[in-house]
Structures are given as C-alpha cells and as structure tokens.
Amino acid sequence: MTTEAPSAAPAPEPTSPVQAAALRAGALPPVEEVRPGVWTLAVPFHGGVPAATLAYVVEDSAGDLTVIDPGWSGDGSLTELRAGLRTIGRSLEDVALVAVTHLHADHLGAAAAVRAVSGAPVAMHGAEVRALQDERADAAANDADIATWGLPDELRAGVVAAWGTGRRIGRGAGEPPYADLLLEDGDVLPVPGRTLTALGTPGHTAGHLCFVDEPDGLLFTGDHVLPRINPGIGLGGRTATNPLADYLGSLARLEPYAHLEVCPGHEYRFADVVRRARTLALHREERSRHVAEALDALDRPTLFEVAARVPFSGGIESMTGFLLASALTQTAFHADLLGRADEVRPA
C-alpha cells in the first residue's frame, strides 16, 4: 500500500546490517534491541507490498510498553506480534499505548486487535481518523475523477476497484473509533520516562506522523522516508491541499534531525535522514520536469497521455489498478504544483 519501485539513487548504508541482509534474502529480520528498552520486530504483510512492516516497542519507566505501528493483522490473531514480544520476555497485555504513523493497513491494521487484548489506547493524527470516516464519500469522488483520466477501457474497472469505490484504505482498521487519542504536530506521547514527540509529516497520507525520540537518538519515520523505496504520495483520503507540496514541505521538516538514527516502517534502519530526504526531493523535482516536458509536447492531453510520457519505473504500460491510479494521481499533483493543471483535458 505504500510504494513505488526502489529509486535509482544509491540507498543509504544500513545501521542494521541484519535487517539489510534479511531484506536481500527476502526473509523477516529478527527482533533487535535498538537502544536499551527499544526493540524492533518485523510483522509480515501477507500478500502486500512491502512484505513486512517494522514495528517498534518502547518500554517506559513504569515497565509498560508502547508499540509504534503494530503492523498488519490478517485474522486478528497477532501471532507474529505475540511471538516477537515473547522473545523479549513480554506480552501483549503489557502494551499501554499504540502509536500509529498513518492509516495504512500495514501500519494501523493490528491496532484495534492490540487494543482489544491489552486495553491500550490507539494514538493517531486526527486527519487519518477523518480520512477513514470519509472513505465512502471519497471513493465516490475518486470514481468521478477516474472517469476523467482518459484511461483505456480495459484498465478502468481495475482502477475503480483499487482506487475508487472498490478501495478500502482502512482495511484492518476495525470499527470506529479508529483512534482514542488524536495527535497533532508537536504533541508529546503519554509515555512515562520517554520523550516521543509527534512530527507532522503530511504527504504520503494527510495525517502522517513521524515520532522523534531525541534522548535515544531515534527518529521513527513510518512511510515518510524509507531507505530504498520512494514513498507514494496522496495515498490517504482526499485533501484540499496538494499532497506533493505537503510532502516536499515534510521532507524539509527533517532538516534538524540529521543526527538521529532512522527507524523506518519498512526495509532497514539507516543514518542521515536529511541526505535521504534530499534524494527523495530531487526525485520529485526530476518528475516535475518530466511532467512539464510532457505538457510542452502535447496539445491538451488527458492525464493518462501525460503520465504515459513520464518515465515511471517499470513504465506505465506495465501498470494496472493501484499502481496505475497512484501514477496518474501523482502526475496530476505535479501538474498542479507546476501551475499547469488547466492544461490537462478531462476526458
């Protein structure tokens, strides 16, 4: 639910060689203690992309646990989460707080099940809760958008299924309330003896949060910044703002945190988030240039015609469903950011 293909720019060196090796081998990395009382454990996302989420467990001064992004829970059995906690001598019953970076099923999916077992409140940005509540209305509006994109007939049904009324972004979110504690930028999580501060980083989704742990030298980045993958943009609910503009602003917000070790939601831990953020921003600049060139070359093109000229990795002709919808919406965000949205002709 997150992604595009790995970017061409060199990926940052891992600070966790064991996670990087597991990724290369297509295996789940083992539970690792990142700092005293801070662990990471991998939760598989069966049938999803990427194939696993990195969940983080933080012990507070009372001995209780905070779980950051509990990952996906297919049948609610929480088998992997239970097993991971067992290896550090703990159990789900010890969880006192579930903090979630964003609404996607591979991050939020297990939260409701963890809450049911432990009674722990779920903390998330209010924009994510609203996006889940608005999902049906958004899906209908997405259907209307899709009809204007100029898609070949044979591709349209798959896009509607993956992006329009067939889509469920909150898969696994459970029933409302999706969160018990609504977070905003700058909020400090109620975790005794730790300092975990929410950093608003909209773009991937409207209410995406990173969590900053200065005392431990850690930055939990969810899907905002990953070591190899270019995070997709605008993959939450519909927004009044341009998610690409939001994302670029959110990359710039990481400038003060170059000294922290990056704990991403997927792949492996790494250092120097600022360098990685600049690489990701450059990638977006390049894509804007390609969209501008397509608009220069074509006379009143449809969105599909513009996107067909953008060198997406793998090529748009290989894309269907979610990937295709994501490529097209991102093309629209770029056209809008260039101030040239009106040059795209609704089909």
Q: Please report, as ranges, the residues that interact with Zn ion according to CB under 5 A.
A: 2, 104, 223
- Choose between 135 and 223: whose C-beta lies nearer to Zn ion: 223
- Choose between 104 and 269: whose C-beta lies nearer to Zn ion: 104
Q: Who contacts 100 (Cβ-Cβ below 8 Å, separation ≥6)? A: 68, 69, 70, 107, 108, 111, 122, 123, 124, 128, 179
- Choose between 118 and 221: whose C-beta lies nearer to Zn ion: 221
Which neighbouring-strand residues pair with 262? 219, 270
Q: How far is the CB of 34 from Zn ion (least distance, A)?
A: 21
- Choose between 48 and 150: whose C-beta lies nearer to Zn ion: 48
Q: How far is the CB of 3 from Zn ion (least distance, A)?
A: 8
- Choose between 48 and 301: whose C-beta lies nearer to Zn ion: 48
Q: How far is the CB of 64 from Zn ion (least distance, A)?
A: 27
* Cis peptide preceding 36, ω within 30 of 0: no
Answer whether 185's CB lies under 8 Å from 119's CB: no
Distance CA 143, CA 133 (A): 18
C-alpha closest to that of 113 among 84, 82, 88: 82
Q: Which segments within 52-126 are labelled E, that is strand?
A: 52-59, 65-68, 95-99, 122-125
Question: DSSP state, 267?
Answer: S
- Choose between 90 and 284: whose C-beta lies nearer to Zn ion: 284
Q: For residue 256, give the 3-state DSSP assignment.
A: helix
Q: How far is the CB of 330 from Zn ion (least distance, A)?
A: 14
Q: How far is the CB of 101 from Zn ion (least distance, A)?
A: 8
Q: How far is the CB of 150 from Zn ion (least distance, A)?
A: 27
